[in-house]
Amino acid sequence: MTTAPPRIRARWLRAPALTRIFAAIRAAGGEARVAGGAVRNAIMGLPGTEVDLATTLSPEAVTRACESAGLSVHPTGIDHGTVTVVSDHTPYEVTTLRHDIETDGRRARVKFTDDWQADAQRRDFTMNALYCDEAGKIYDFTDGYRDSLRKRIIFVGTPSQRIREDYLRILRFFRFHARFGSGTPDAAGLAACVRQRRQLAKLSAERIRQEMFKLLAAPGAVPTLKLMARLGILRELLPHTEEWRVIGRLPPDAVLRLAALAADPAAMKERWRLSNSDARRLADLAALVPPTPGLRPREQRIVLYQIGAAAWRDLVQLAWARSRASLDDPTWRRLLKLPDRWQAPSLPVTGKDLIAAGLAPGPGMGEALRRLEDWWVASDFKPDRDALMARLTT
Ligand code: ATP
Ligand code: MG
């Protein structure tokens, strides 16, 4: 260890909810430390992420200890050692120290241990292998403290071997670089990622999507994706465009950025097993005609009524990024904000009104209602119920 790290003094460490878990585990004769992201972020002066705990107690012992302290415990991933303890309505993942006994590039068989160093050694990067105890004392077996301060993503151990254990680490290397790194990535890690890129095909679509969505939403996404494209890594994941200027002008939203990055957006639902709502957003972004500031206000309202506020915001942001306009252009900003100024009304007549007016239910009535709606929309949503009913009988 080169520098003696100072104590962690983050607010989350003093939360009574967390203190209660530490106390319960201590009372049962075990030891617990905060592990991974929360410690890393505190050292880097970044806002906290979830506070995850590592412990010497078995999952069953954690469950007994926390339940007898009056906390509720859920066996979220009990086979690989994780339970979720809910304390003051806050969920904490508590994971028993582990080391890998068998890996196949996708998943690991783990064995529980009470050896903190073995647990650190199976983690991916030095900045993710840090622990702190209840008093904020840092435990650093891999020089992760130094690498956090230098903003370097360094594999724990030999990069090619760590990648062979789990090929997802290739994507995690780039994801953490995009989020926390600075300058060019570590040369040894990068070379190993490039050499093993073909193995990415062995990963499940879900794991790829999860990592790539986090990468796409990271602050340094564009230079990192560009690098991945140049090195032939990105094409192992999706057929992609080179629209870097556009992607860089989009807000940090994975689906929006994917709409510009994917050469075949329609194929992504299958390819990355997107959720229905993400797939729908992506399909709308690819298929609907984007509103532009050239539209008259009346036409804007018609389009907004037809596509809804969410698709409106998505489409305007993508069209704005693709345009030559500056990102603080007031006319585009005004267009984007239309859903805040104007909420589409709903058609003031329903099928019931039509039946009351003597129309027979059935396809004819649906047709009449649609014609009425078209007229109402084309009249800028002005006709009220009476005007609509009057039109019906003419
Ligand atoms: P975030 O703030 O993005 O959640 P995180 O560091 O908590 O960052 P997670 O993906 O939630 O990242 O993983 C939690 C911890 O588990 C990591 O910090 C790392 O120590 C370990 N870890 C997760 N995935 C792997 C993996 N594939 N290989 C090795 N260690 C991993
Ligand atoms: Mg996390």
Mean pLDDT of 295-304: 95
Q: What is the CA radius of gyration of the chain?
A: 27
User: Which amino acid is located at 139 in the chain?
Assistant: Y
pLDDT at 320: 98
Ligand 1 pocket, residue 37 CB under 6 Å: yes
Range(s) within the chain of domains with CATH label 3.30.460.10 = 1-150
Q: What is the pLDDT of residues 119-155, one digit of tens each?
A: 999 999 999 999 999 999 999 999 999 999 999 999 9
pLDDT (0 to 100) of residue 3: 58
Q: How far is the CA of 169 from the centre of ligand 1 (A)?
A: 10
**Ligand 1 contact via 81 beta carbon (within 6 Å):** no
Query: pLDDT tens digit string along 1-39?
Result: 555 789 999 999 999 999 999 999 999 999 999 999 999
CB 169 less than 6 A from any atom of ligand 1: yes
Virtual torsion, Cα 215, 220, 224, 225, nearest 10 deg:
60
Distance 12 CA to ligand 2 centre (A): 15
Question: Is residue 259 over pLDDT 80?
Answer: yes
Ligand (nearest to CA of 80): 1
- Specify the DSSP class assigned to residue 139: E
Residue 394 pLDDT:
63
CA dihedral angle for residue 165, residue 170, residue 176, residue 182, rounded to 10 degrees: 120
Tell the residue nearest (CA) to atom 12 of ligand 1. 37
The distance from CA 7 to its chain's CA centroid, rounded to whole angstroms, is: 30
Q: Which residues of 325-343 are buried (b: 16+ CB within 10 A; e: fewer)?
A: beeeeeebeebbebeeeee
CA of 243 to the centre of ligand 2 (A): 30
**Is 53 close to ligand 1, i.e. is its CB under 6 Å away?**
no
- Tell me: pLDDT of 162 over 60: yes
Q: How many CB atoms lie within 10 A of CB 9?
A: 9
- Closest residue (by CA) to atom 9 of ligand 1? 37
Q: Which ligand is nearest to the CA of 170?
A: 1
Q: Is the CB of 49 under 6 A from ligand 1?
A: yes
pLDDT at 359: 86
Nearest to 12 by CA among 179, 94, 132: 132
Choose the residue to mutate in 123, 173, 180 for probing ligand 1, maximizing ligand atoms within 8 Å of C-beta: 123
- Taking the CA of residue 41 as reference, the ligand 1 atom at the shortest distance is 2
Q: What percent of the chain has pLDDT over 70?
A: 99
How far is the centre of ligand 1, averaged over its atoms, from the C-alpha of 22 (Å)?
Answer: 21
User: Which ligand sits nearest to residue 169's alpha carbon?
Assistant: 1
Q: What is the pLDDT of residues 59-95, one digit of tens each?
A: 999 999 999 999 999 999 988 999 999 999 999 999 9
Residue nearest to atom 30 of ligand 1 (CA): 123
More confident residue, 358 or 160: 160
Which whole-number Å values give the CA distances from 384 to 4, 173, 354, 370, 389, in the listed order? Answer: 74, 59, 15, 16, 9
Average pLDDT value for residue range 90-101: 96
- 140 burial class (0-12, 13-18, 19+ CB within 10 angstroms)? buried
pLDDT recorded at residue 218? 95
pLDDT tens sequence across 329-377: 999 999 999 999 999 899 999 989 989 988 888 888 889 999 999 999 9
What percent of the chain is modeled with pLDDT above 90? 90
Q: How far is the CA of 376 from the centre of ligand 2 (A)?
A: 50
Ligand 1 and 36: CB distance under 6 A: yes
**What are the tens digits of pLDDT across the range 374-390?**
999 999 999 999 999 99
Residue 235: closest CA among 283, 194, 187 = 194
Instruction: Report the candidate in 234, 201, 214, 193 with the shortest Cα–Cα distance to residue 106.
Output: 201
Do residues 238 and 272 touch, judged by C-beta distance below 8 A? yes
pLDDT for position 332: 98
Looking at ligand 1, which atom is closest to the CA of residue 169? 27
Are the C-beta atoms of 327 and 248 separated by less than 8 Å?
A: no
* Closest CA relative to residue 7, chosen from 41, 42, 38: 42
Report the SS3 class of residue 57.
coil
Q: Domain 1-150: give its CATH code.
A: 3.30.460.10
Spatial separation of the C-alpha atoms in residues 85 and 92, rounded to whole Å: 5
Q: For residue 166, which atom of ligand 1 is closest to its CA?
A: 27
* Cα(80) to centroid(ligand 2), Å: 16
d(CA 292, CA 306): 15
Atom number in ligand 1 closest to CA 214: 3
Q: Whole-prediction pTM value? A: 0.93
